[in-house]
């Protein structure tokens, strides 16, 4: 499977760095680094092209000549990742991708830059053109179990999307159960899951202590989602990212999520979000 990227800004660079997995991509653990990401391959050979889009703020509110700011030619890849691009450039993408034989478009939303109506319009056009499409809000909500085939395959092969962990525990002589190790099976696209997994070692398997440890690690990485609220769910994008991390840990440990977080996730799911 091969991908192309069209992006502007720090978040796109973070996703690209996570996929390339170069030596100094993650320095969050500082001197305590255990090179946990060494087991993850670099996907650099799967990234066919990287296009840098203009800063949306540098363009007028309405762009009539969108083609001027898009790549002249788009290679026939499986997936196009479009991150933080101007809404009018996004509107021009579906036909261009369909003409190039691109199978799917993923448009991650980490801040309220894409109005829900625009997302629905692009998804409708993609459906008519036979291009799979997803607008995960934020990117770490992209779940292969709720995605069309090509996008699901992308999550599996590139090991990014909704976080998935495998956790082992240990019991000390007093009966205290703590986390012995946490293995990343699928990471948040920004790479934060790797750091969170390292910070879980030695944490007692107690809901409140786990919650505190996950929250601290999630903020320390830091999460690339903004504190702006998603207009559809009224939850900050950053908080939703934190809920994804927490759900991954509690699921791996086979223990129920704290009731307040489960209630929020249920409310988001009722909005039609495939979490």
Structure tokens at 82: 């479009």
Q: Which residue blocks in 149-202 are alpha helix, DSSP H?
A: 149-158, 192-199
Are β-strands 177-186 and 104-106 bridged in parallel, bridged antiparallel, or unpaired?
unpaired
**Closest alpha carbon to 83 in 145, 5, 177:** 5
Say if residue 138 is preceded by a cis peptide, omega within 30 of 0: yes
Dist. CA 197–CA 72, nearest whole Å: 41
Dist. CA 199–CA 58, nearest whole Å: 39
Dist. CA 18–CA 92, nearest whole Å: 28
Structure tokens at 212: 């505190």
**Residue 70, number of CB atoms within 10 A of its CB:** 18
Per-residue pLDDT tens over the stretch 119-166:
999 999 999 999 999 999 999 999 999 999 999 999 999 999 999 999
Prediction pTM value: 0.94
Contact call for residues 83 and 107 (beta carbons, < 8 A): yes
Q: Is 247 left (phi over 0), alpha (psi -120 to 50) or beta?
A: alpha
Per-residue pLDDT tens over the stretch 214-241:
999 999 997 889 999 998 888 999 999 9
Per-residue pLDDT tens over the stretch 37-51:
999 999 999 999 999
Contact call for residues 237 and 225 (beta carbons, < 8 A): yes
The pLDDT assigned to 272 comes to 66
**Closest alpha carbon to 224 in 133, 140, 136:** 140
Domains of the chain listed by start with CATH number: 3-158 (3.40.50), 164-270 (no CATH)
Question: Cα-Cα-Cα-Cα dihedral of 122, 128, 129, 133, to 10°?
Answer: 40
CA dihedral (146, 150, 154, 157) positive or negative: positive
Contact call for residues 143 and 164 (beta carbons, < 8 A): no
The pLDDT mean for the chain works out to 94
DSSP element (H, E) containing 147: none
Q: pLDDT tier at 189 (50, 70, 90 boundaries)?
A: very high
**Residue 73, number of CB atoms within 10 A of its CB:** 8
């Amino acid at each position: 499977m091969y991908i192309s990227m069209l992006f502007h800004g720090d978040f796109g660079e973070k996703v690209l760095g996570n996929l390339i997995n170069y030596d100094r991509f993650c320095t969050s653990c500082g001197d305590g680094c255990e090179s946990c990401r060494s087991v993850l391959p670099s996907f650099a050979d799967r990234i066919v092209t990287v296009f840098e889009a203009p800063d949306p703020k540098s363009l007028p509110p309405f762009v009539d000549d969108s083609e001027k700011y898009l790549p002249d030619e788009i290679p026939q890849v499986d997936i196009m990742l479009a991150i933080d691009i101007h809404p009018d450039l996004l509107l021009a993408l579906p036909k261009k991708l369909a003409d190039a034989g691109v199978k799917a478009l993923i448009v991650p939303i980490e801040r309220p830059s894409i109005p829900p109506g625009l997302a629905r319009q692009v998804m409708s056009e993609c459906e008519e053109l036979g291009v799979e499409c997803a607008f995960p809000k934020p990117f770490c909500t992209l779940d292969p179990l709720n995605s069309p085939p090509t996008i699901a395959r992308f999550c599996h092969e590139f090991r990014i999307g909704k976080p998935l962990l495998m956790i082992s525990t240990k019991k000390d002589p007093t009966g205290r159960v703590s986390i012995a190790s946490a293995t990343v099976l699928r990471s948040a696209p920004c790479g934060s899951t790797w750091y969170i997994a390292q910070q879980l070692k030695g944490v007692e398997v107690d809901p409140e202590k786990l919650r505190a440890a996950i929250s601290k690690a999630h903020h320390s990485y830091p999460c690339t989602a903004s504190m702006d609220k998603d207009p559809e769910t009224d939850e900050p994008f950053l908080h939703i990212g934190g809920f994804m991390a927490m759900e991954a840990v509690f699921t791996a440990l086979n223990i129920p999520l704290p009731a307040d977080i489960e209630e929020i996730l249920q409310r988001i799911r009722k909005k039609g979000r495939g979490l």
